[in-house]
Structure 1
Amino acid sequence: MKYIQAFLIILLILTVIPVNADNQKLAMVAKTRGEVTFRHEDETAFKNTAKAGTILENGDIIKTGKESFVALIFLDDKSQVKLLENCDLEIRGEKIRNQLNKDLSMNFGELKAEISDQRRGEFKISTPTSVASVKGTDFWILSDPRLGDKIIGLSGLVELMNQITGYTVSVGPNQTGLSLTNGNVNVQVTNPNDIPEDIVIDEKELQQLKIQFQNPRGESKNIIIEYR
């Protein structure tokens, strides 16, 4: 019961945090393992340690080390992104009237995205080779700057565009989209051996979760959830 109560409190907090590109709060770190650091847009070094409850701002870049992992929850729609080891991700959001367009950028690594239905705004994840545009779907991105990208569809549809040629394909469940550094794109049946092992977020592993947010008056508040 304590785990359920803690989870409901987190959802309530995510609901009341004001979210837009003006106040810069875009995502929250839900879980980390190993070495996970981040830097703000005006910083050059990854000297900030990311931990559960850390709020990421527009322009932040988060990075995982060897045998490390981080899971993020986006504050406006509860979409989740998981980064496996040796991966980096830049987070940006643009507020246009009543919608928030999210644009993530990674240079290399493996990422799992669980994207909620984007009724208000766009959700894009880009690499040096490709851009994946999604509305509401689960998929993996396996990005290699030398070879290109694999987009492994788990549910829904992903529009995969090669940035070199502009060619676009749709990737559905049980399909893998290949976007190569020579400009070629194609879709094939997914080889199950290509799917990375997912890391399940279990709130029982969290002993303390500290969440910082601002109320409408601009005052900072901390909420600490403890359970065993």
Structure 2
Amino acid sequence: MKRILLISVILLLATALLADSVAILSASKGKVSLERALKNLKFKNGELLQNKDVLRTGAESFAAYKYIDASSMIKLFSNSVVTVNASKEGGKLSKKVNVTKGSILTQVKKGSGTFTVQTPTTVASVKGTEFLTKVDDDGFSTFTVTGGEVELRVLETDRVQTVGKGKTGIVSPDGGIRVRVSSADDLDEIQKAELESAQSEEREPIIVPVLDDAGNRKLIEIHY
């Protein structure tokens, strides 16, 4: 409980002091890159992420980040490309994850502002749920829901389809959509993803930049 409270304080501090920061990189393993304004940056766990930052993972690699409102966790798996997006709306953080390729596991709390995941073919809107998103090399987008429900909107046709717990929605490159009961293979992949996440969660100090009374930038190192 103390650890959860401390992390919440850290996130609130980052929100108040750094308007450009929208998330925190909480874990990484293997070949992971961070791109900002078309430049690759050096980073470590605890790095503050900004709007439109791009995360890439290579083979046998993993990364995870949390939005600064402590509402959601995004876990990237091998060979994935994700763009981090967020903006303030009505006092809450409106969050969007763009998945160009690969797979991510999304965990979202209820009542924490709008949250969407967008692939090349589909926008998935969520309100308190857990689901796996995959974009394969053939252009298919797959959404496997393990908690709550996800509303899928196909960009090509504007067709809307709700996918509930225990179901998988598949959107083809031409905009076709079908929903089926999640298979054992779908669930096995989620379980494997969670295991990889637990093994990769190497905690490091979080470095938070702050401004003192004179306007000088300083760094605070927080262990949790």
Class of the TM-score when normalised by the shorter of the 2 chains? 0.7 to 0.9
* Residues 137 and 155, structure 1, Cα contact 8 Å, conserved in 2: yes
* Aligned equivalents of 2:166, 2:204: Cα separation in 1: 37
Q: Equivalent residue for 2:31? A: 35
TM-score, structure 1 as length reference: 0.85
3-state SS of 1:66 partner: coil
Q: 1:138 aligns with which of 126, 130, 141?
A: 130
Runs of 4+ in 1 over 6 A off after TM superposition: none
Residue type of the alignment partner of 2:34: F
Q: Is 1:15 the counterpart of 2:8 in the alignment? A: no
Q: Note the alpha carbon deviations across 1:47-80, whole angstroms, 9 max, x for none.
A: 2244210110011111111110001111113310
Q: How does 1:80-119 map to 2 (within 5 A)?
A: 80-119=73-112
- Unaligned 5+ segments in structure 2 are none
SS at match of 2:223: strand
Q: Which amino acid aligns with 1:221?
A: L
Aligned equivalent of 1:189: 181
Residue 202 of structure 1 and its aligned partner are, at CA, apart by: 4.5
- CA shift for structure 1 position 147: 3.6
Name the structure 2 match of 1:171: 163
Q: 1 CA distance for matches of 2:57 and 2:148?
A: 27
SS of 2:11's equivalent in the other structure is helix
Q: 1:19–1:76: 8 Å Cα contact kept in structure 2?
A: no
What value does the CA root-mean-square deviation take over the aligned residues?
Answer: 2.5
Q: What residue number does 2:223 align with?
A: 225
Query: How many angstroms does 1:24 deviate by?
Result: 1.3
Q: Is 1:7–1:203's contact at 8 Å kept on the other side of the alignment?
A: no
Looking at structure 2, the residues matched to 106 and 17 of structure 1 have their Cα atoms a distance apart, in angstroms, of 25
State how 1:204-223 maps to structure 2 within 5 Å. Answer: 206=202, 208-214=204-210, 219-223=217-221
Change (3 A) 1:86 1:49: farther
Partners of 1:210 and 1:63 in 2: CA distance = 21
Q: Distance in 1 between matches of 2:87 and 2:3?
A: 31
Spell out, residue by residue over 1:22-54, the C-alpha distance to the aligned partner (whole angstroms, 9 max, x if none).
Answer: 8111110111110111111x22x4x22442101
Q: Deviations over 1:206-228 (max 9, x none)?
A: 363233243696644322427xx
Residue 10 (structure 1) shift: 2.4
Alignment length, in residue pairs? 218
Which residue does the alignment assign to 1:161?
153
Change (3 A) 1:149 1:87: same
Show structure 1 runs of 5+ residues with no match: none
Cα gap change, 1:181 to 1:191, in 2 (>3 Å): same
Change (3 A) 1:173 1:224: same
The residue type equivalent to 1:31 in the other structure is A
Question: 1:126-169: per-residue Cα shift (whole Å, max 9, x none)?
Answer: 01111111111000001125241110000001001111111111
Question: Are 2:17 and 1:24 aligned?
Answer: no
